[in-house]
Chain A
Amino acid sequence: MTNTEFVSKWGFSLNTLYNPSNLVIGFVGGAPAATTLTRSSNCCKLGGGAGGYYDIEFGFATSSSSGNRFLNGMTSQYLFSGISGLSTADFLTFGSATTKTTSSQLTPWYSVAHVQSIGQGNSGWVAGNTIGAPVPEPQSWMLFGTVAAGLTFAVRRRRKQTA
């Protein structure tokens, strides 16, 4: 672990049914906050020569004078809103390679990031995809259980009152 490597850009794409320009992106917590937030359809070229175009780009400080760098072990959290019906599944969208000329340059990535200060000042574009389909969270089942228990209690109470 070098502890000097940092993320300078991180991008995603949005379901093509939606206009990324309508997204409202708010910083929620963690450190550091992005220094730039860009969102519009295919706004952002990410991934170098083999990369593609993405709809949302988070830009982080590249020098200490422009803010805290996004170093190892940090988190940075945001809330996406402004689009009715938006869900996590809408971010399962590949980057676009519409301006590329060969099929070998297609961009089968959901997310691409730029890491800098690797070794002797090198950098690299890294990417990845989902590691799992959306899954229900425990609170959904807890909510269902709470409602069911409440209904049962209310029915029993009503029967006692009428008896």
Chain B
Amino acid sequence: MSFRNVLLSASALLCMPLYAGNVIFDINQLITGTAPASAANPWLRATFSDVAGGVQLNLQTMNL
């Protein structure tokens, strides 16, 4: 690979968003009705992650 190609590849990579993040929602509060029996909290967790091609969501039941 030539030096020029290395530079071009590196530039392309550096121009990509370096930010890859995740957002976590902990479901831990009762709005209405009966609360889940478990005293442990959160009951549920939703995790959004930036991935190639979009956003991935992981739904998880933690303490039901």
Interface set of A (CB-CB < 8 Å, partner B) = 1-3, 5-7, 10, 12, 24, 28, 30, 47-51, 58, 70-82, 86-92, 109-113, 115, 118-119, 122-137, 139-140, 143-144, 147, 150-151, 154-155, 157-158
Contacts and interface: CB of A to CB of B under 8 A. Distances in A.
A136 B18 contact: yes
Given A77-B59, A79-B54, A88-B50, A124 B34 contact: yes
B33 A136 contact: no
Interface string B18-38: 111111111111111111111
Interface residues of B, number: 48
B49 A88 contact: yes
Nearest to A52: B31
Interface of B: 3, 6-7, 10, 13-14, 16, 18-38, 42-44, 46, 48-51, 53-64
B22 A70 contact: no
B46 A111 contact: yes
Contacts of B25: 110-111, 128-131
A139 B13 CA distance: 13
A87 B46 contact: no
B44 A128 contact: yes
Top 9 A-B pairs, shortest CB-CB distance: A134-B21, A124-B33, A81-B54, A122-B34, A72-B64, A128-B27, A5-B64, A88-B48, A48-B32
A118 B27 contact: no
A132 B36 CA distance: 24
A104 B64 CA distance: 29
A127 B31 contact: yes
Contact of A119 (B20, B37, B44, B51): B37
A143 B18 contact: yes
B61 A74 contact: yes
B42 A128 contact: yes
Contacts of B59: 7, 10, 30, 58, 70, 75-78
